[in-house]
A and B are shown apart, each in its own frame.
Chain A
């Protein structure tokens, strides 16, 4: 495939899966600038790896794997985050109405995800997306049993927290 054709295909696929970009960036970053930087980094990584993308695999799983890997390392990075390629006026992801996207409940959800450590953020995000335990295990690189155990433990701790809050 020629480069312009490859780029066209890449743009179309990323556009079709832009929600992944939005959700990962919102789960790992608190400020708009950080979200924009992270979105750019994810796009760059996706593009660099796109040549080796196996079309027999699901694009969403592949995109999730790269996006989460980039997001975790972005979140963990201790140095300055001013290496973005695009200027400040340019934005990759534009929300038509940010408040419409994020009702109070959704904000609480993002807040809940935001409080988790970077690895559990990835786990919860994949679970909320409706992936099976096997799919989650493949993206995370852990066993299916381990995923099930972690999800159950998370559910239990949330129930306990809820009971504690109700008693208080």
Chain B
């Protein structure tokens, strides 16, 4: 086995050989390809911006519903709960977009990796928050949507026991969802999207992200290096 300084010498020889043996496909670096890459990123940014704009419309619409029904607590309260949820989602979206825009890859590695990992933690908590609260949001959503779109009173249409049962079912689904995520996240090999989603929900990705943040701190810590 070589030591690090011998490795350095071999590396220098490797470097000299690379001069002659690798070619960069300059055609692919042409304006068209670079602009294509840039427009793909712009599309992604535009999509995220559109998502946030739609979310803002939802927040405003719910606010308007609350204003119209302020005297009727049974409608105003579920709408307020939904609005708080929608505002939380909007804030998380904006924080993610702002965080992504702040990342400048030509800054030192420890700084950028910390920002990226922080952003990853934010994204995972956002996904977890949405999926954990969504089953509970179903009942107030029924009440608000029926009243807002068709003027129908869900309390009269379904009866209070049905709405309470829905709420309890939502509560029961949360631990079940977490259990299923933990059990099946590794078996979603064919679908990276679902695998990631399940691992997000189960908390595995959050553990990995916080673990990497801890390793980054250790890497930066001079005392630990000694």
Contact = CB atoms under 8 A, between A and B. Distances in A.
B25 A130 contact: no
Given A47-B37, A80-B192, A65 B113 contact: no
Contact of B33 (A21, A23, A85): A85
B14 A158 contact: no
Contacts of A106: 10, 14
Interface string B60-77: 000000000000000000
A76 B14 CA distance: 27
B109 A49 contact: no
Nearest to B212: A76
Contact of A158 (B3, B41, B205, B222): B3
B43 to A, nearest CB: 11
A168 to B, nearest CB: 12
A66 B113 CA distance: 11
Given A15-B26, A48-B38, A80-B193, A140 B109 contact: yes
Contact of A100 (B21, B109, B193, B199): B21
A109 to B, nearest CB: 6
A162 B6 CA distance: 13
Judged by DSSP, the binding face of A is helix
A149 B38 contact: no
Residue of B37, B40, B41, B111 ringed by the most chain A CB atoms within 10 A: B37
Sorting the interface of chain B by its residue count into under 10, 10 to 19, 20 to 34 or 35 or more gives: 35 or more
Contacts of B192: 79-80
B110 interface: yes
B23 A94 contact: yes
Interface string B162-192: 0000000000000000000000000000001
A19 B212 contact: no
A19 B23 CA distance: 9
Given A7-B31, A45-B105, A130-B12, A97 B21 contact: yes
Interface of B: 1-5, 7-8, 10-12, 14-15, 17-26, 28-31, 33-34, 36-38, 40-41, 104-113, 116-117, 192-193, 196, 199, 205, 208, 212, 215-216, 219-222, 225-226
13 contacts: A10-B34, A19-B19, A23-B18, A65-B108, A65-B109, A76-B116, A93-B25, A94-B23, A101-B21, A105-B2, A128-B8, A149-B222, A151-B4
